[in-house]
Structure 1
Amino acid sequence: MSNTKKAMDGGKWITVSTVISTLFQFVQVAVLARLLSPADFGLVGVSNLIIAFFQVFANLGFSNSIIYKQESDRNVLSTLYYLNLTVGVVIFILIHLTAPYIISFYHEPRLAQVLNLSSYYFLIAYFGQIYMFLLEKELKFKSVAIIDITGTVMGSIVTVTLAFNDYHELSLIIGALVMQSVKSVLQITFGLRFFMPRLFFNINNIKEHLRFGIYNMGDGFLGYIQSNTDNIFLGGMLGVKMLGYYTIAYQLCVFPIMKLNPIILQVAYPILAKMKENTADLKKSYLKILDFISYCNLPLLAGLFITADGVVPLIYGPGWEQTTDLIRIFVFVGIFICLSHPLYTIAFTKGKPNLLFYLNLGTLIVKVPLVYVFGTYWGVTGIAIAFLLTTFLNMIVNFGMVHYLIGDFIGDFSRNIAKPILFCLLMVGLISLYRLFIGESGLMNVLAEIGIGGAAYLLLTLTYKLSYAELNAYRQGIL
């Protein structure tokens, strides 16, 4: 099977996985918003911050180096495997040692049990992690999809069941642990044919992976700090309740972006890694990735911007109206993030993870003072605006790095993105007219607005973007 065919097949399976997983998690949040308080979501948000922080160090940047080097040496993989397990145990211990300081910072005693349970993630996840990297390296995306779907479904069922039985914030933590346990078991089951660990450990064998991972891990650390500065400051300055509002708004706008983009990026990286010396082809692929991401993400975000005040009470119920203004800010954050994502694929393909490190370092230097000042004067809205400004600046520098790696692309990119932007403006205009002359509240009006917007964007795309030959090619690739 050719790489192109593998990419199409992989894209099909990752799409199925993403749609199902996103649907289950979306329904889960909608149900939990009616059962849990904003403070409960804030507590889990703090726990997620801690887990995400330690995840930066947990795989030591090996995920991308294994794919980049197309690693298959059993001794090397065994050393990486045991090193990962060791790091997981160390992180488990560190979370318990630092928990009192975290609880003191947020002034929230309930965090003790949340952090204690969350720490077990690192005793579970890294038994199967290396097998996931190998499945992606071998382009076994059907297996990846089955693992993701099964874990998400089981985790969501457990989470909602516990929430109905008054486990409050712990329902989210336990559900996440169940999800990761299922995934780890399946990762090992599907991946054992590619790698069986042997009793071998030699740090000298993985020096190249360590060198690759240093910048990768450094970039991850800085990326974590600059991406979560707003959450860290917000929880400490304004409390976990406001963090709960902020988290829900962020999830509604940015969570779909973080789920949709990997449909193509997760498939693209192993393919691009096999043609890393051909800059011309990389440039064409980068532009295609941007084009695809633009057409998928922009209409969703534009539609959410215009319908936010009707969508929020329908999805989350009463008491979450305060998230509406935050959502409209995060819509633009989501746009800048989705356009910035493809750099990561190009940087790893070209063996330049150091660029990502410098990008996140610069963004962090700008973001920290902005978040502190804006948060001090304008509260949660100010923090969201600070996040918006730094995300925009990050995207501008991001494009400059892409230019350095693959050459000039702005002209082609500008011509490509003009159509989806215009289609979105027309879509928003039609929805605005409906809201003005017919109505904007209630289930039927919201559904009508979604239908009008979706139909308008689809019709414009089919008329002015996709030819019959392209549609037929996509159809044949998917079937």
Structure 2
Amino acid sequence: MGLGTAAARGSAVTLGGQWVKFVIQFASIAVLARILSPDDFGKMAMVMAVAGAATVVGDFGLSLASIQAKTITMQQRSNLFWINSAIGVILTAITFASAPLFDRFYGTDQLSDLVRAVSVVFLVNGLTVQLRADLTRNMKFVQLTLTEIFAHGTALAVAVAVAMLDHGVWALLAQQVTVPVLLLFSSALVLRWVPGRPTRKADMRSLLSFGTNTMVTQLVTYSSANVDSVALGKLHGSVELGVYDRAYQLFKIPVAQLATPMTRVALPVLSRITDPDVYMAYLVRAQKVLCYVMLGAFSYAAVTAYPLLNLVLGDGWTQAAPIFRILAVGGAFQALSYIYYWIFLSTGRVDVHLRFSLIGRGLMVLVVCIGAVFGSIGTAIGSSVGFVGIWLVYSLIAVPRIGIDTRPVMASALRPMIFFGLTFVVGSVSLNWYGPYLSDIAAMLAAALLFLLLLAAAAGLSKPFRADIAVLAGTVRKVRG
């Protein structure tokens, strides 16, 4: 089986599983929003915005180092397992001991017990990292997908049960802990691999160098993506943060359910391509598919923000809709940047990625902190402006520094950017006109019909647009084949 076919079939399995996970995640947001309060979600967001950084450090970038390596020995695999496990133990101890600091920072006395309970996640993640990396490296996408569906589905059931027993924020804690525990046991069962004893004989230098750069970059990315929750919680409290967090979690769904799994498939494939022309052709095709799927999802989500959030979250969450709409606009530029992430990882130039992430993400932190002074709307605007800035830094400066021309990649994104930008404007104006006369479901169906009509019109009037549709159709056929 060729790499292109392997990638397409891997995408089919992964994206198919992502639809199931999408339903689970959507159900989680919808059901728990009707049982728990904004204050509950705000408290959990306060904890995870800071403590979640330990998850990034716990991986230490070694999973991606393992995946992208041309070859990896059994001794290296075992060493990676023990390194990640040791880091997990250390992070659990540090997080547990630092629990009182959360109460002091946020000015409350209700977070320390949550922090102590969530610290176990970092130990479990440390034990799981190399198992998941091995499954990914070997392109075991079916096993990866099924174990994730099992873990997230079970975690939702546990969270709902705890919430129904009126334990509030502890239902969210139960969900956070259940997922990694089940991923550990299911991955171990599928892989059936017992790591050997750690040894100094294995050459770890290149893996640790790649992992360190990747980890620091991911930590910078995580910090910039979560500074909004920290700043908003500190300045405005758990209730306003809870409303913002629900909008943000919905905003993250297209990325979590589409772009992230595509990275899982693309990275091992791109890392094995040696012909520069084939490499660029793959990038251009991948960017085109990514843009039409992701920009379409964000454009539709932004247009239907009010009826969508009414349906998903129910009463009492009206303030989340404008936040969600602003974030969705910024999310389009976040989606455009994913292809550059693949380039840095697959070429091993994580050093360049780190340098320019510090620049782009540093600017994002600045604008988000400024926006947070003005509340949740200002925070959302700051996040979206930050995503635009990061995309510009990567497109115009960072990727060209490693000798890769970004013009073909940017050109492949131009038509979907223009089309979905115009679709957003037309859809928003139209929904403002007819929306008040329709139910939420009817408004969303009407918006979907409008999108399809505009898509058909563009395909009928533009030959290049029809060529893009043909590329998408070809990808679908390859997936099915």
Query: Which residues of 2 match residues 149-164 of structure 1 at below 5 A?
Result: 149-164=149-164
TM-score normalized with structure 2 length = 0.92
Question: Structure 1's 163 and 280: CA in aligned 2 closer, same or farther, altered over 3 A?
Answer: same
Structure-2 separation of matches of 1:38 and 1:216: 34
Question: Structure 1's 382 and 477: CA in aligned 2 closer, same or farther, altered over 3 A?
Answer: closer
Contact 2:15 2:261 in 1 (8 A): yes
Query: Which residues of 2 match residues 40-189 of structure 1 at below 5 A?
Result: 40-189=40-189
Greater shift, 418-427 or 134-143, is seen at 418-427
Is structure 2 residue 443 aligned with structure 1 residue 436? no
Per the alignment, residue 211 of structure 1 pairs with: 209
Per the alignment, residue 3 of structure 2 pairs with: 3
Greater shift, 433-442 or 85-94, is seen at 433-442
Per the alignment, residue 222 of structure 1 pairs with: 220
Aligned partner of 2:473: which letter? L
Q: Equivalent residue of 2:235, what SS? A: helix
Question: Structure 1's 113 and 309: CA in aligned 2 closer, same or farther, altered over 3 A?
Answer: same
Is structure 2 residue 345 aligned with structure 1 residue 343? no
C-alpha deviations, 1:172-198, integer Å up to 9, x for none?
A: 111222222111111112222xx4311
C-alpha deviations, 1:10-31, integer Å up to 9, x for none?
A: 1111011111111111111111
C-alpha deviations, 1:16-61, integer Å up to 9, x for none?
A: 1111111111111111111111111111112322342001211221
Is structure 2 residue 263 aligned with structure 1 residue 261? no
Per the alignment, residue 386 of structure 1 pairs with: 382
Per the alignment, residue 395 of structure 1 pairs with: 391
Contact 2:327 2:384 in 1 (8 A): yes
Structure-2 separation of matches of 1:142 and 1:236: 42
Is structure 2 residue 297 aligned with structure 1 residue 300? yes
Per the alignment, residue 38 of structure 1 pairs with: 38
Cα shift at 1:468: 6.5
Contact 1:42 1:240 in 2 (8 A): yes
Greater shift, 197-206 or 297-306, is seen at 197-206
Structure-2 separation of matches of 1:108 and 1:265: 39
Contact 1:226 1:368 in 2 (8 A): yes
Question: Structure 1's 174 and 203: CA in aligned 2 closer, same or farther, altered over 3 A?
Answer: farther
Is structure 2 residue 325 aligned with structure 1 residue 323? no
- Stretches of 4+ aligned residues off by more than 4 angstroms: 460-464, 466-470
Cα shift at 1:282: 2.2
Structure-1 separation of matches of 2:213 and 2:427: 47
Structure-2 separation of matches of 1:354 and 1:440: 54
Per the alignment, residue 291 of structure 1 pairs with: 288
Question: Structure 1's 357 and 470: CA in aligned 2 closer, same or farther, altered over 3 A?
Answer: closer
Cα shift at 1:138: 1.0
Cα shift at 1:63: 1.0
C-alpha deviations, 1:264-301, integer Å up to 9, x for none?
A: 221110000001x4332222222222211111112222
C-alpha deviations, 1:294-336, integer Å up to 9, x for none?
A: 1111222222222212222221111111112211210121011
Cα shift at 1:227: 1.9
Q: Matched residues, percent identical? A: 21
Per the alignment, residue 236 of structure 1 pairs with: 234
Structure-2 separation of matches of 1:203 and 1:232: 43
Unaligned runs of 5+ in 2: none
Contact 2:367 2:382 in 1 (8 A): yes
Cα shift at 1:339: 0.5
Question: Structure 1's 213 and 263: CA in aligned 2 closer, same or farther, altered over 3 A?
Answer: closer
Cα shift at 1:450: 3.9
Structure-2 separation of matches of 1:238 and 1:217: 31
Cα shift at 1:411: 5.5
Structure-1 separation of matches of 2:77 and 2:59: 13
> What is the root-mean-square deviation in Å for CA atoms of aligned residues?
2.3
Question: Structure 1's 67 and 444: CA in aligned 2 closer, same or farther, altered over 3 A?
Answer: closer
TM-score normalized with structure 1 length = 0.92
Contact 2:7 2:269 in 1 (8 A): yes
Structure-2 separation of matches of 1:117 and 1:340: 35
Contact 1:298 1:421 in 2 (8 A): no
Per the alignment, residue 247 of structure 1 pairs with: 245
Is structure 2 residue 258 aligned with structure 1 residue 282? no
Q: Equivalent residue of 1:19, what SS? A: helix
Cα shift at 1:424: 5.4
Cα shift at 1:8: 1.5
Unaligned runs of 5+ in 1: none
Cα shift at 1:408: 3.0
Question: Structure 1's 460 and 160: CA in aligned 2 closer, same or farther, altered over 3 A?
Answer: farther
Structure-1 separation of matches of 2:117 and 2:218: 24
Question: Structure 1's 203 and 126: CA in aligned 2 closer, same or farther, altered over 3 A?
Answer: farther
Q: Equivalent residue of 2:155, what SS? A: helix
Q: Equivalent residue of 2:375, what SS? A: helix
